[in-house]
Amino acid sequence: MENISLKTTDSLKHFNSTPEIHKNYSDAEKQKLAKASKEFESMLAQMMLKSITSSTEGLFGSENFGGDVLDTVFEGELASYMTESKSLGISEMIYRKLTGENINDILKLKGEKLKGQIPTDIKDVPSVQPTNNTMKRLEKYEDIILEASEKYGIHKNVIKSIILTESAANERAVSKAKAKGLMQLMDPTAKEMGVSNSMNPRENIMGGTKYFAKMLRQYNGNMNLALAAYNAGPGNVEKYNGIPPFDETKKYINRVLGYLNNLES
């Protein structure tokens, strides 16, 4: 089998022209995509090493015993080290093309479930009792909520508490700021999460849960910061290095946790 010679003058040429395929992948699916992207980058790096060392007849030269086998083993190990310690950027580009997200966000999870969804001190928050009519409306979306919970690793009662706070389980709710639906998605957020119709209950719940999961990952499982980011935006959380000093945001967090306390009791 002949060695493959690679031209590396424009190594990103074929990736720059690939179409973007943004879908609502689950975290498990994203982890598989990230792993495959990393493996492809490692394979490409190994091919590049083989091409570079072809003029010296391999890493160990032509006179050593078992050189072909050793070359293959060491090229594979060196390629893996190169792509793991300092990425070539290829896996990141492939992953972003497929998901629209940063590969490092999912690699941080490394297959772990999101943690800290139910704060240990939830009982210290005053309970908030939803009305009977609100709970009846919420019951209609039980199956969708369970699906979103399983897909994105967010406890079902956290999703319910956000819905209760955002819209009182009114799927046609629209705020003055044009936030829409059960989880009150703004159009840019909906687009980022792959939601085409925010007034569709399933799309709204799946998109809202996906976004909250993203905020929870971003703030290392800190429920209060994730809720603050969901309400006031992550930019304000970063600006104030914590929960923004907005009365609306503080009340929002307490209300979500109050509903959560009630649902957990």
User: Active-site positions?
Assistant: 166
Q: How far is it, in rounded angstroms, from Cα 87 to Cα 109?
A: 18
Quick one: which of 173, 219, 217 has its CA closest to 198?
A: 173
Name the region of 220 (left: φ>0; alpha: ψ -120 to 50; beta: rest): left
Q: Buried b / exposed e across 175-200, counting CB within 10 Å, b at 16+?
A: eeeebbbbbbbbeebbebbbbeebee
DSSP, collapsed to helix, strand or coil, labels residue 180 as strand
CA-wise closest residue to 240 among 252, 224, 254:
224
Helix (H, G, I), strand (E, B) or coil at 18: coil
